[in-house]
Structures are given as C-alpha cells and as structure tokens.
Chain A
Amino acid sequence: MMRSISVTRAALLLAVLLGLPGATALARGINQTPDAFIQETFPRPPKPKVIWLTGDLKKEIEKILQHPYAKLRVKYWKKGDKSAWVLDEIGKEKPITVGVIINDGKIASLRVLAFRESRGWEVEQPFFTRQFTQAGLRKDNRLDRNIDGITGATLSVRALKKLARMALLLDQNIRK
C-alpha cells in the first residue's frame, strides 16, 4: 500500500499541466505563447537558463505566493540587464500564465499570456497591466507602488501582484 500520497503535490502538478506554457496553437484563453513572448522580447533569444528554488529563495517565494511554487526550478532568458520570465499562478481555480520583462531591477512590462479563469479577465487589459511598469521590489519583498484593484477580479489581481513580486525577487537573485 502507499506510504504517502501528496495531494498538494498532485494538485500543483495538475495545475502546472493545465497551464503548460509553450502550447503552439493559441487555445482558448491563451493570448500569446511563451515562445512568441520571448521572441518578441529578444529578437535573437538567448539560451534559456534556470534558477533552482532552494533554501532561502524557496522560502521567500513561498512567503510571497503563500504556498510553494509548483516547480523546483524556473526558466528565464537574460541578455544584458534585461531578463524575461514566464510564471504561473492560480487565480481562483485555474493557472494564469504571466510574462514579465525586467530591466535593471524594474518591471519593463507585464503581460498576461494565458488567462483560463471564468472571471477576472480584466487583468489582461493594458489599463491594468500598465500599473506594473517601472515597479520595483522593496526590502520586504513588496512592490514599491500601489496597484489599484479591479472589482470582481480580486483573486486575479492578487495572483498578478504575487507573480510580479516573484519575478522581481528571482531577477534580484540572478543578478547577485
């Protein structure tokens, strides 16, 4: 018989599998594939690198997300001071895939690549994502500016804010 079955692990894996980045065809809810996002960010994309979520970094990310990140490592693309990240976080029930470009420690742009929830789609709109431009990370790992919420999209807004903080923290770590 099984010694242990990790339901959380299963749920996280399921969430990641549901939100697999890089699908070639633009399925329902997918605005841009991660490949297209990287291609647009870097006309000649650098080779992807990975950062492992271990030790203090893992703990800090867990604190930001309020749960462990689904994967043990995160892929990123970096050229000069610019880095690009494709991250997933569950809004209410399904993963939201977000592409974040960071330039010199500040968010250059944040884009919702895939939104699979039935509500809260407003977070995809530029009027909302523009608020993240030039946002940085304070010492307490919070954004250095206020992001106005959207009525009826509280969980999606929260997910995007968490991913923005996570991307900035990861960027800080690769620049150390």
Chain B
Amino acid sequence: MKHVIKWHRYFGLVIAFFVVLLATTGILLNHTEELELSQQKISNPLLLTLYGIPAPEVIAVFTTPNHRLVRGKQAAILDNHQITAPSPVNGLVEANGILVLASGESVILLTPDGELIDSITTSAPVERIGLAGNRVIVDSGDTKYVLNEEMTQLQPSQNLPEAAPDWSTPAALTKAQRDQATNLLPRNSIPLERVILDLHSGRLFGYAGVIVFDLIAIAMVVLALTGLWMWLWRNRRRNARRNPS
C-alpha cells in the first residue's frame, strides 16, 4: 500500500500542472463567445511555425518616383495600403498621377491611395510594363500595346512612341531593405480560440501531443481510482482500529 501512496503522490504532482492547464483552457473554451476568442488573432512567429504557417515573404518591390509597391506571396502593399492581388505583379509605372500596375492578364489602374480605378485585360499575360515619355507601354510577349491617353484602351504596337520604353523592373534590395519591406506585409495570424482548443487537446504539439494528453487523461482516471481506493482503505483501517473485535 505504501508504494501505491508514494506513486499516487508523484503522479499527482506531475498531473497537477496539466489539471490546471486543462481546467483553465476548458473554462476559456466554454466562454469563447463572451471573450471573443475567435476574433483575437495571434501572430507570434514561433506559434505560426508550429502550425506550419509561413512568415510573410517579399517576392518583389517596384518603385516609381513617388510610390513603392511591395509584392508578397499573399498580399501586395502600395505604400501603406494593402491591395491584395491574386496574380503576380510584373511592374508598376506612374503616368498623369495614376498608377498603372501589370498583374497577370490585366493592367490595373489605381489612385495614389491604392483605390481601384479600372482594369483592362490583355490577350496574353503582361510580361513587362514601362513608360515611353508619358505613355504607358505594355509588353504581352508577341504584342506591345500603348495605353491610350484616356487610359481606357490598349492600342496595338503600330502606335508605339518612338522613345524606347523605360521598363519597370523589380528593385534590387539589400538585406536591410528586404527586411523593411517584409515588415510592411501583413503578418499571418491564427485565432486565439484555435490555439486554446489545440492546447486543450494537445494537438498544438502534433500527433505526439495528442497521445501525451491521452496518457495524461488516463493518468487522471488512474489517480482518481487510486485516490478513491486509498480513501476506502484508510477508512477501513480506521474503523478496524476503533472496533478491534
């Protein structure tokens, strides 16, 4: 019996930490809505690594005399405005106060604040975009186009200005500039509710975490049974001492 009591104590000490953890997370999960846990986002890099969520990554940076566009994997930031674009950005130019962005099979016109003015589609993906004087030139592989003055239509190459276009190319970045650009990109995040739920189930630490939490749950059941057994044993022994006959 002494061995059982000894092991019960040691197990109890270890399990106590998990009892507190499970009780706390359980209470929090019971009040998810009141505490607005699903609305609260966590963007801790270490935690996101546990979930396999990558950190924001800069693909390219394009600049005009007055503006800078940072293209990340999932988002594009124009100065300080997010302008999420699904396809890659191939260039950015500025003409008559309007920003013209080449993205996939389209030319997108934006205000300097990043508001969408209009989009014009091309017959093939835009490979490069540039400026010849103040005219926007779009290179779609075999065909080159000029954006008309009203910026409503792409006109074929016979109307190309004589000046050689100054093509927009990604800016070469030093490590410090790349880090600065990365900081502009929105960080990925995960709802606090998800983290607490996964902490409660052990899933936060992968499948091994689930198995460990299963073992802890079994240990809790064993502790409850051994605790009950010890209590009965002590009661019986106390009664035996009081009534020796």
Interface residues of A (CB under 8 A from B): 1-7, 9-14, 16-18, 20-24, 47-50, 70-73, 75
A-B contact pairs, 17 of them (CB 8 A): A1-B183, A1-B184, A2-B80, A2-B184, A5-B81, A5-B82, A9-B81, A9-B82, A10-B75, A12-B116, A16-B116, A16-B119, A17-B86, A23-B121, A71-B118, A71-B119, A72-B111
Known contacts A2-B184, A50-B152; is A17 also within 8 Å of B121 by CB? no
From 112 to 133 in chain B, residues with beta carbon under 8 angstroms from any chain A beta carbon are 114-121, 123
**Which of A5, A12, A22, A72 is most buried by chain B, counting CB atoms within 10 A of its CB?**
A5
Q: How far is the CA of A24 from the CA of B124 in the complex (A)?
A: 8
Bound: A70/B82 CA distance, A:
15
Contact yes or no, A49 B117, CB < 8 A: no
A95 to chain B, nearest CB (A): 12
Contacts of B84 in A (CB 8 A): 10-11, 13-14
Q: Shortest Cβ distance from A51 into chain B, in angstroms?
A: 11
Tell me whether A18 and B116 are in contact (CB under 8 A).
no
Q: How large is the interface on B (under 10, 10 to 19, 20 to 34, 35 or more residues)?
A: 20 to 34
Chain B residues with CB under 8 Å of chain A are 75, 77, 80-87, 103-106, 108, 111, 114-121, 123, 150, 152-153, 183-184, 186
In the bound assembly, the distance between CA atoms of A4 and B120 in angstroms comes to 27
Interchain CB contact (< 8 A) of A72 among B86, B115, B150, B186: B115
Tell me the minimal C-beta distance from A37 to chain B in angstroms.
Answer: 13
The answer to whether B118 touches A50, judged by C-beta atoms less than 8 angstroms apart, is yes
* Complex alpha-carbon distance, A9 and B82, angstroms: 8
Q: Which residue of A17, A20, A24 contacts B123 across the interface (Cβ within 8 Å)?
A: A24
List, in ascending order, chain A residues with CB within 8 A of B83's CB: 9-10, 13
6 shortest interchain CB distances as A-B pairs: A22-B121, A10-B84, A5-B82, A72-B117, A3-B80, A10-B82
Nearest chain A CB to B103 CB, angstrom units: 7
Q: Which residues of A contact B77 (CB under 8 A)?
A: 2, 5
Residues of B within 8 A of A16 (CB): 116, 119
A18 and B119 contact, CB distance less than 8 A: no
Rounded to whole angstroms, the CA-CA distance of A55 and B111 in the bound complex is 16
Instruction: State whether A22 and B114 are in contact (beta carbons under 8 Å apart), knowing that A5-B186, A7-B82, A10-B82 are contacts in the complex.
Output: no
